[in-house]
Structure formats: structure tokens, C-alpha cells
Structure 1
């Protein structure tokens, strides 16, 4: 259709001038961005402008336990209308009961995120029974903790379906309404294991690496098309003490507690941050992976941090067939 359209290409001189102009503008803006970032890093949260979540409809996948449960409780206390999705019916009941005992309204749905049809049909129910989702938190995750050759095919497929492929279905279900209303927030829960390959996690780490790419590409598309009021936040926490990594004994840093992770996530959402890495010190170590020689990185991981050794104690999860 466009094959016969004549495209006016800029002259070489004009092109060089445009590149120079854009580069100078970028450098000037970069100084502002760095100073702005330093300023807000030093300012306590109590003095920062934080968006209100009062009245917002917030959907949390994997909301029955762990970090999802803590998010639900804390968000409800901030006045949000909480919608919980989980495959674990009993866990959902406990979380909903705790919220209702405090007098909060909560909606829950038993959903298998590995089932695309179930995700779409349940999303439609939410729209009818609750309303437009303002914030989507893709929190659900699964890990089997097997070395590559011990992972069966069903476990690999389940990990991918739950940890990343389901994000496509949930975001496709709720993003159009966010764009129509001009308000929305997509929260993608990744992991530090999605920034640094982890022993006994060839499936888990790969899916969490994929969440990083998913977030960055989605963020790029939203900004490129002018949807600046639709925010996207990537959350990459270290090991969390929820039972998912039961048995792991990190050498240099203790596991994070679900309460701390949920609180930090909510602060990040309210500040419309693009990236949230926990603990913050990890973000300063990650560049070493690219800057240092590969053998040096391995020795740091194996000899000093004892990463593989600590993961050897991970308790295996029930096999999937």
C-alpha cells in the first residue's frame, strides 16, 4: 500500500545537524534527570508527593498468600477496592476473611493463570461485577527448584505459563480500558533472579528475565504512543521469606520479609517509579556483571556470595505431570 509513496529523505548535512541538536538536548536533559533523581532519593517519603489509591480498583494475581496477601491488606487500608486472583481457594478464603474482619470490601476469584480462556473470562466477570481495574499487579509466580536435566517438560511449561505468559493475557484484558479512561498502572513482579541467572532456576530465572523485557517493551510502547498517564513499574526483589525458596540460606544478605516487600512495592507504585529493586543495594552490584571479567564474576558468585551453594538447600516442590 505504501510502496509507491515517495519518501523525502533529509540531506546528509541536515541529518548531521539534527543528530547534533538532539544529542545536545539529551545531555542538557540528562543533567536535569540526574539531579532530579538524586533529589528525590534524598527526600523522605513523608515529604514526597505520593498519589492516592483511595477508591482505586486494584487487582492482584497470586493474592491468596505471601506478598500478595500483604499487598491486599495494606492496599485495603489505603482505601483501595481489592480484587484477588489465586488458584489456591483456601488461601483466598483466609485472606478475604482477614480483610472482611477489618471491615474492608474484597472480591476474590479462583483462577488458573496457566489457562488463557479462564483469565479472559474471569477478567470479564471483574469488569461486570467490580468495575474498571485501575492498577494491575501481576504478582503470581511459581518455582520448582530443579536443575535443568531434572526438570520435566510439564514443570517448564507451567513455569512459563504462570510467570510470564499470563502477563500477556491479564494486560491485554485490562490495558484497553486504562487507555480509554486515561488512567492506569501495570505492575510487573520480576525478581533479582531475572537480572542474574540463578542455580536450579533455569526455568524460573528465564521467565523472570522475560518479565524484565516485557516491562521495558511495554513501557516503551506506552510512552511512544503518548500514553503518559498509564504507568508501568517493574519490581525485582531478592529472595522473599514466603516458602517459595524454603531451605535457601543466603550468605551475605538475609531473605526479605513479605511485609517489607509489600510496603516497598506500594511506595513505588504511589511514586510512579519505573523500576523497584529490593534491597536497594543490589542495584549497585548488578552492573558488575557486565563490567567485570566473566571468570571474576563467577568467582565472586561462587566463592564470596556462595550463591549456588545456598540454592542447593532449596526444598523441591511437588512434581507436575
Structure 2
């Protein structure tokens, strides 16, 4: 095509996709059937990971649960069986260890089969100012929150692309979209996780693997204990999120092939503003929303897998 025709195509398709997106705001999206899928959730021993497993339990999937906490993962397995899951497999796995991720992934493929829905959920937070954070904790944050995604994708994506079927889910954070005072290493790890997930999504589109879907989840602070002590200056605008609500919205996003999920909905507005307002106005907005002071009373758990 020449420049004129390609530009015309861009305009026409852009108008079409915008109309399509607007219509979908008012029409409930059809949920896909995941019966028989093999769903792997990292960090499934507690928090959002456990809640997502519980919500997948009655949907006829095979659940593969990973966590570094043996008691936690056993409890999750017990709970999901109570909620109707009949095929549950759990494995101890330190997602910060590449060799262990590959070893356990190979075990899963031998014992369960090829994972078709991969949910990278395991994460940690130090909650310390950059200069106060030990190097070891900074490295661990990057290893769990970012690099683990590389290794799980390497392990499970080949089967998805071979079948042109699957779903990659990255549980990131709103802190991966906007820098937050006191969360330098955490923000860096989540920015990287989002960039990685977006890039792989583009690769899948470019290679025609449109049967492998992707979902990137960016919630505000969730009330799971991970961010205990963090405060929201304006709770009605940016509330601490209820874990049950977040887990429910994530499952809905997966079942409807939603590419991005930002929570609460005000985050969509905030991200739109970030890209168009002057930097100084952005700083004012950060002060107004509490992004500069929300971590002052942090006392959450250092580790959350």
C-alpha cells in the first residue's frame, strides 16, 4: 500500500475500534469457557493468589499452585477443593530462583500437562526509601517481581504458541504506571513487568499468534497485609482495594480477554492526565492524591509470595 491508503486505513479502523470500545461499555462481554484449561498461579499460598484460585475452582480447570510457603499452599489446595476443584496440584517454588522455576515447570509439564493460563502473581515489597533499602532486598524485588516473569514465560509460552492458544496474565501494580515516593525498587520492578508483558504481547501479534491472549493488571494498594500502614489521602477517590473485589475483577478480565485492567477506575483518568499535563502539575497532583506521603507509615510484610 502507499502512504495515502495506509493513512486512510488507519483513520477508518481507528474510528471503528473507538466505536467498538464505546459500545462494549454498555454491552456485557461474553465470557469464554475455560473448562479443561490448566491454570498456573504463582504466589497462590495467600492473598490475591489464593482468592483467584478459589474463584477458578468451580470453573472446571486444572489448578497448579506455586508458592514458597508450604503451609500456605497446602491451605489453598484444601480451600479450592472445598469450592469444587477436582484437579489440584501444588508445588513449592521460589520464583526468584531461575533454576528452580525451570525445574518445577518441567515437573508440572510431566505431571499435569502444558499450562494454558499462566498468572504471574508472586510479588514482594520492601517499603523502604531507596537509600535505606539493602542491596539484597532490591535484587530480590527485581528477581521476584520482574525476572520470574521471564522464566515462567520461557517455560510455558512455547506450548501456547505451538497451539496458538493460551493466556498470559501479569499481576502488576498502579506503581508500575506512576512513580511513588518510598517505592523505588517496587516501582522499577513493576514498570519492568508491564513493559515486558506489553512487548511479548506485541511479539505475539506480530507473529500471528492471536490465540494467545494477554492481560495486564494494575491495581492500587490492596488490603491484603502487604501494604499495611499505607494510607490513601482521599479514600473515595483512591480507596484501599478489597481483595475479594480485585480477585473477582481479575477473573472477569481473564474470561473476557481484557488486555488492561486498572483498579480503581479512577486510575484510567489518572493515567490519561499523566501523559498530557506539565511535569509540575503532575507533582501537584501527586501531592494532592497522596503519592508523596502514602508510604510514611508503612509496616506491611516485607515478603509476600
TM-score band, normalised by the shorter chain?
Answer: over 0.9
- Aligned residue for 1:227, secondary structure, equals coil
What are the equivalent positions in structure 2 for 1:157-172 lying under 5 Å apart?
Answer: 157-172=139-154
Give distance in 2, aligned partners of 1:40 and 1:306. 33
Report how far residue 189 of structure 1 moved: 1.2
Give distance in 2, aligned partners of 1:50 and 1:249. 35
Report how far residue 100 of structure 1 moved: 2.4
Q: Determine if contact 1:235/1:265 at 8 Å carries over to the other structure.
A: yes
2:229 counterpart residue number: 247
* The one of 199, 223, 226 aligned to 2:181: 199
What are the equivalent positions in structure 2 for 1:228-267 lying under 5 Å apart?
Answer: 228-252=210-234, 253-267=238-252
Moved more, 101-110 or 21-30: 101-110
Report how far residue 308 of structure 1 moved: 2.1
What are the equivalent positions in structure 2 for 1:300-319 lying under 5 Å apart?
Answer: 300-302=285-287, 304-315=288-299, 317-318=301-302
- Aligned residue for 1:49, secondary structure, equals coil
- Aligned residue for 2:294, secondary structure, equals helix
Number of residue pairs matched?
Answer: 299
Give distance in 2, aligned partners of 1:130 and 1:40. 36
Give distance in 1, aligned partners of 2:269 and 2:294. 22
Say if 1:294 and 1:102 are closer, same or farther in 2 by CA, change over 3 A: closer
Report how far residue 101 of structure 1 moved: 3.0
Report how far residue 317 of structure 1 moved: 4.5
Q: Determine if contact 1:59/1:133 at 8 Å carries over to the other structure.
A: yes
1:270 counterpart residue number: 255
1:291 equivalenced with 2:271 (yes/no): no
Report how far residue 249 of structure 1 moved: 1.4
What are the equivalent positions in structure 2 for 1:16-165 lying under 5 Å apart?
Answer: 18-44=2-28, 48-104=29-85, 105-165=87-147
> What do the CA deviations read for 1:228-262 (whole angstroms, capped 9, x no partner)?
10111111111111111011111222211111111
Q: Determine if contact 1:146/1:316 at 8 Å carries over to the other structure.
A: no
Q: Determine if contact 2:171/2:217 at 8 Å carries over to the other structure.
A: yes
Report how far residue 316 of structure 1 moved: 5.6
- Aligned residue for 1:52, secondary structure, equals coil
Q: Determine if contact 2:43/2:121 at 8 Å carries over to the other structure.
A: yes
Give distance in 2, aligned partners of 1:227 and 1:248. 41
Q: Which runs of 5+ in 1 are unaligned?
A: 1-16
Say if 1:75 and 1:318 are closer, same or farther in 2 by CA, change over 3 A: closer
> What do the CA deviations read for 1:117-172 (whole angstroms, capped 9, x no partner)?
10001001111111111100001110010001101100010000000101010000
Normalising by structure 2, we get a TM-score of 0.95
- Aligned residue for 1:246, secondary structure, equals coil
Q: Determine if contact 2:170/2:197 at 8 Å carries over to the other structure.
A: yes
Give distance in 1, aligned partners of 2:301 and 2:249. 28
- Aligned residue for 2:124, secondary structure, equals coil
Report how far residue 283 of structure 1 moved: 0.7
Q: Which runs of 5+ in 2 are unaligned?
A: none
Give distance in 2, aligned partners of 1:215 and 1:98. 30
